[in-house]
Chain A
Amino acid sequence: DTAVSQTPKYLVTQMGNDKSIKCEQNLGHDTMYWYKQDSKKFLKIMFSYNNKELIINETVPNRFSPKSPDKAHLNLHINSLELGDSAVYFCASSQGPFSPLHFGNGTRLTVT
């Protein structure tokens, strides 16, 4: 059973399009995250939700909007995609904000 699953694994799209990435966790965790990993492998936090409430909202363009319909899901919607949005996006969850993270296997987004 996959603990944190995100879809799709690969996403190739053109500039200006709108796309979504879905994430689901079956660990019963209260906190979920979206991270961006750039070509240099740095992980940067984008958003965090605790019990469906936004607790971290880093400085990302407002073209990125997270949505948490329930505790087990945190989706990421991206409007008007740009070349610089190309990266690997990871969803993660944890028992609480100070607990270890469990990551999904990432979505490789390529904007052409």
Chain B
Amino acid sequence: EDQVTQSPEALRLQEGESSSLNCSYTVSGLRGLFWYRQDPGKGPEFLFTLYSAGEEKEKERLKATLTKKESFLHITAPKPEDSATYLCAVQASGSNYQLIWGAGTKLIIKP
């Protein structure tokens, strides 16, 4: 069964303390892996798409990487405004277009 698991469920960091969020997946074939950010009371906002193992994408303090089994979202020197829930979603080959979503990691950055 296709599955996406994110860890940890919640992560509290001090401002400037770098860390990584994990998204592990089991699918029959990967078409693409997506990262989104969701702020309270808002819809998810697209961050990155990764398509193949070894691929990396960067945006400001965020860098997403992909292996054959998992993806990491690295956060370097985070600021309080990076606090949000980060969602990972996978689109499998032959999946009838559907995305399989993880439950998210709630990130809190304390000043």
Contact = CB atoms under 8 A, between A and B. Distances in A.
B38 to A, nearest CB: 8
Interface string B73-111: 000000000000101010100001111010110000000
A98 B97 contact: yes
For the side of the interface on B, what is the size category? 20 to 34
Interface string A93-109: 00001101111111000
Interface stretch (A12-20, A38-46, A63-71, A79-87): A38-46
Contacts of B85: 41
Contact of A104 (B36, B43, B49): B43
Those 7 A-B pairs whose CB atoms lie nearest each other, nearest first:
A103-B43, A97-B97, A100-B46, A43-B101, A103-B44, A105-B43, A41-B104
Interface residues of A, number: 21
Interface of B: 31-32, 34, 36, 41-46, 49, 85, 87, 89, 91, 96-99, 101, 103-104
A56 B46 CA distance: 21
Given A56-B97, A98-B91, A100-B49, A42 B43 contact: no
A4 interface: yes
Contact of B44 (A44, A48, A101): A101
